[in-house]
């Protein structure tokens, strides 16, 4: 079989087959006349094994190790069990991280539903992101360090946000709380 035939039979792209050849997972013979890569029935079975291993989360290097063990007549099964057992807690942790990310994204979308768009003004890039609470470390020292600067940033952000809300409503900036310019701003 040529690359395209093997790929079609296995349900993958020809580039996938070529990638596995480059990675040393498949070792085709070369046609003596034209140099084409030729694959045998065993290569199809090996490719299907690689696909199954990939669906279980094994990386190319791990699959290479598994195949090397098998090619040398050693059972890779103990190594496969150990790899999967050590990876599973990592996967559960990653799922928890992704669920937390999804929750933050939903929270942000809900909070932003009624907020107007803003224009970068030198102090702000995107009010939507800037309005979202910063992730704070669990240490109290981080909270205390950032407390005062956060208050000042929030005051400025609130002033700018009030101006934008009032402008969107067609109101004068000075009629909103904190909307009149301070002496610093007018000088």
- Between the alpha carbon of residue 111 and those of residues 58, 104, 116, 127, the distances in Å are 39, 10, 11, 12
50-101, pLDDT tens digit by residue? 999 999 999 999 999 999 999 999 999 999 999 999 999 999 999 999 999 9
Question: Which domain does 137 fall in, by range?
Answer: 115-186
Mean per-residue pLDDT over the chain, rounded:
80
Q: What does the chain come to in residues?
A: 187
Task: Check whether residue 103 and residue 143 sit in a common domain.
Answer: no
pTM of the model: 0.59
Task: Check whether residue 98 and residue 55 sit in a common domain.
Answer: no
Task: Check whether residue 137 and residue 172 sit in a common domain.
Answer: yes
- Spatial separation of the C-alpha atoms in residues 159 and 167, rounded to whole Å: 12
Give the count of domains, the chain: 3
Contact status, residue 17 vs residue 53, Cβ threshold 8 Å: no
Task: Check whether residue 162 and residue 143 sit in a common domain.
Answer: yes
- Spatial separation of the C-alpha atoms in residues 5 and 74, rounded to whole Å: 31
Share of the chain above pLDDT 70, in %: 72
């Amino acid at each position: 079989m040529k690359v395209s035939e093997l790929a079609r039979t296995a349900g993958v792209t020809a580039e996938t087959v070529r990638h596995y050849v480059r990675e040393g997972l498949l070792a085709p013979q070369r046609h003596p006349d034209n140099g084409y890569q030729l694959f045998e029935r065993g290569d199809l079975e090996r490719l299907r094994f690689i696909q199954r291993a990939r669906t279980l989360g094994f990386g190319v290097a791990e699959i290479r190790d598994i195949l090397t063990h098998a090619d040398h007549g050693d059972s890779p099964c103990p190594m496969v069990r150990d790899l999967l057992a050590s990876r599973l807690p990592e996967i559960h942790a990653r799922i928890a991280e992704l669920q937390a990310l999804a929750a933050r994204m939903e929270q942000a979308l809900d909070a932003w539903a009624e907020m107007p768009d803003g224009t970068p003004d030198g102090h702000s890039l995107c009010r939507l992101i800037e309005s979202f609470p910063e992730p704070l470390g669990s240490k109290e020292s981080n909270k205390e360090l950032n407390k005062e600067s956060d208050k000042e940033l929030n005051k400025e952000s609130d002033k700018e946000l009030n101006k934008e809300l009032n402008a969107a409503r067609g109101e004068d900036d000075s009629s909103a709380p904190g909307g009149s310019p301070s002496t610093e701003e007018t000088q």
